[in-house]
Amino acid sequence: MKTLIITEKSSQAKDLRAALGDRFGQILPAEGHLLRLAEPEEVNAEWKRWSCTLLKPDGLYPTRPAADGNKPSKLKAIAAALKTCDQVILATDCDREGQLIGQEILDHLAYRGRVQRALFTAQDPKTLRQAFAQLKPNGDLRPLYEAAVARQQADQIFNLSLTRTATKTLLSPGVRGVIGIGRVKTPTLGIVCLRELEIRNFRPEDYFEIVATATVAAGSFSMRPCPGGQPSDHGSSSGRSDRPRRGGTQGAARRIGGAPAPGTAAVIRLARPAEDLQSTLGMERRQDAVRRAGALRWRGQKADHLSAGGGPVPVREPNWRRSNHHWRTGSAAWFCPHRSRRAGDPARQIRPLLR
């Protein structure tokens, strides 16, 4: 029985030849999609003129051979091989798009012979041999193919319809150009534009922090609360209600009070932010540094330094597994447990750290 193996790209064909030789038959590569969907005017001549119309045909958009690169020659080679083979093995990528790339070739060329599927997620010889030893009927993957067709047809209908509608309605008369609408590119462009507007509209604003300085025999260190598990956007002008104000931080500092544990001195004061925090991009870098510092453990660099010659640091060891609140000391972040995800009262949050 003569067999044809169709791969998605040349690298797959090369690896399969190295792993299998010619035991299973001829191996021919595609080059991604060898077919394209017909343009609207190829389906309906009236759609050649751009207007605010839903470009949805009665059935599906038919496929047409792609004309770019060497795709026509590869499709021609596969078509010729299909005429003399009794069986096809699809060895394209095992995802939705890979199934579409292989199956649409067979449908377009009206192949009616036996079709099997080789599924693999790596292209080393052992994996490829195992995949060809466990071939599956291609019909088992029909739902995957139909899902890919649905995605492809929906993109064609709505992307082209909305692109034409946006171009006709949003461009001023006499202005040439196209406003492209896409399922992926339009939301991505929206995210970029919203971020740019946030940067342009950023207004620095003064805020105050509570700083707890703990002193032990080996030295001292400062801690600042960061509600919510990571630094709050102190520099933002978004009107958040939890932004530290002078009055609120002064009251919290007075409520903390009390004598600390023996051998520990705590000084509570108010502090303005560092200048590098007065930038949205600076805040992003700071948040990234805090997330990286989260990989440290309590007995890390600063704790080791403080406890060298002075015994254990007299501060409760944090809970690293589930923490919704942390303190930062210098450039590192020290996490401590907190039941509520809300900022809460700094006075209640500081006391346990000084026990």
Q: Do 263 and 143 fall within a single domain?
A: no
> Tell me, what's the pLDDT at 288?
54
Q: Do 49 and 154 fall within a single domain?
A: yes
Q: Do 188 and 139 fall within a single domain?
A: no
What are the backbone dihedrals phi and psi of residue 65, each rounded to the nearest 5 degrees, phi first?
A: -60, 135
- Split at pLDDT 50, 70, 90, the class of 217 is confident
Q: Do 214 and 349 fall within a single domain?
A: yes
What are the backbone dihedrals phi and psi of residue 102, each rounded to the nearest 5 degrees, phi first?
A: -75, -45
Both structure tokens of 153: 């047809």
Q: Do 7 and 156 fall within a single domain?
A: yes
The separation between CA 239 and the C-alpha centre of its own chain, rounded to angstroms, equals: 29
Single residue among 160, 190, 221 that ends a domain in this structure: 160
- Give the pTM: 0.59
- Rounded to whole angstroms, the Cα distance separating 246 from 268 reads 14
- Identify which of 326, 33, 35, 354 has the alpha carbon closest to the alpha carbon of residue 221: 354
Quick: pLDDT tens for 109-120: 999 999 999 999
Q: Do 216 and 343 fall within a single domain?
A: yes
DSSP 282-320: HHHHHHHHHHHHTTS-TTSHHHHHHHTTT-S-SSPPP-S
Q: Do 94 and 242 fall within a single domain?
A: no
Q: Do 150 and 7 fall within a single domain?
A: yes
- Rounded to whole angstroms, the Cα distance separating 315 from 212 reads 12
> Tell me, what's the pLDDT at 218?
73
Surface-to-core class of residue 174, CB atoms within 10 Å of its CB (0-12 exposed, 13-18 middle, 19+ buried):
exposed
Residue 272 half-sphere exposure, CB side, CA atoms within 13 Å?
A: 7
Average pLDDT, integer, range 54-73: 94
C-alpha dihedral over 45, 51, 53, 59, to 10 degrees?
Answer: 20
- Rounded to whole angstroms, the Cα distance separating 30 from 98 reads 11
Q: Do 35 and 134 fall within a single domain?
A: yes
- Split at pLDDT 50, 70, 90, the class of 301 is very low
What are the backbone dihedrals phi and psi of residue 169, each rounded to the nearest 5 degrees, phi first?
A: -100, -25
Q: Do 8 and 138 fall within a single domain?
A: yes
Q: Do 154 and 170 fall within a single domain?
A: no
Number of domains in the chain: 3
Quick: pLDDT tens for 123-179: 999 999 999 999 999 999 999 999 999 999 999 999 999 999 999 999 988 888 999
| Amino acid at the residue 274 | A
25-29, 227-231, 321-325: range with highest mean pLDDT: 25-29
Contact (CB, 8 A) for 75 and 107: no
Check pLDDT > 80 for residue 225. no
- Rounded to whole angstroms, the Cα distance separating 282 from 235 reads 10
User: 52: domain range?
Assistant: 3-160
Q: Do 146 and 230 fall within a single domain?
A: no
* CATH number of the domain encompassing residue 47: 3.40.50.140
- Split at pLDDT 50, 70, 90, the class of 22 is confident
Check pLDDT > 60 for residue 23. yes
